[in-house]
Amino acid sequence: MTEKDQLLHDLKALGVKEGDAVLVHSSMKALGTKLTPEEVIDALQESVGEKGTLLMPALTYENVSGEHRVFDSGSTPPCIGLLPTVFWKQPGVERSLHPTHSVCARGALAHRLTVGHQMDDTAVGPHSPFMQLAVVGGKLLFIGDIIDARALLAVGLMEMRINPYAFVTDISKWI
């Protein structure tokens, strides 16, 4: 089995399926693969299929400060990792208009999930891709060792939006 086949198998085992809208938080280094970023992105896109949508945060908070205070969705690079840095420039990828917390998406719901982000007062407002992902029943996928306080906050916000009464009863596997 090739590494790409193994990744596709693992994604399926995690519940990623054709037609899903999946927001991927990633650490290419922690993934520990010989696959290129392009190959990982191809596997992720393949796992959601033509009817699905692949999303990645393209945060720019470090790149719109100091002398560079202007956000340009076509030229301001993400500051948060290798996969988003490669993904945002690929063909067919759309990017939300938010100066510090933009999101890139490709697939069936890409436009619907990224349009309108600039109308929100906060990064995770009702028009943001983060909240719109919850509205369409999307999924969060964490690849590598990247769970931190910000990611957990995003998960919490989405969980509240998806199901305000959902609680984890056994948290030992997360500690």
The per-residue DSSP string of 104-122 comes to EEEETTHHHHHTTGGG-SS
C-alpha closest to that of 102 among 47, 40, 23:
23
Tens digits of residue pLDDT in 140-174:
898 876 566 555 566 555 545 544 444 444 433 33
Tens digits of residue pLDDT in 82-91:
898 899 999 9
Phi, psi of 132 (to 5 degrees): -65, -35
Instruction: For residue 123, give Cα distances in angstroms to 107, 131, 154.
Output: 22, 10, 10
Query: Mean pLDDT for the chain?
Result: 81
C-alpha closest to that of 141 among 38, 50, 52:
52
Report, as an integer, the average pLDDT of 6-29.
93
Phi, psi of 103 (to 5 degrees): -130, 140
Q: Terminus-to-terminus CA distance in the chain, angstroms?
A: 32
Higher pLDDT, 73 or 27: 27
pTM equals 0.81
One-letter amino acid for residue 6 of the chain: Q
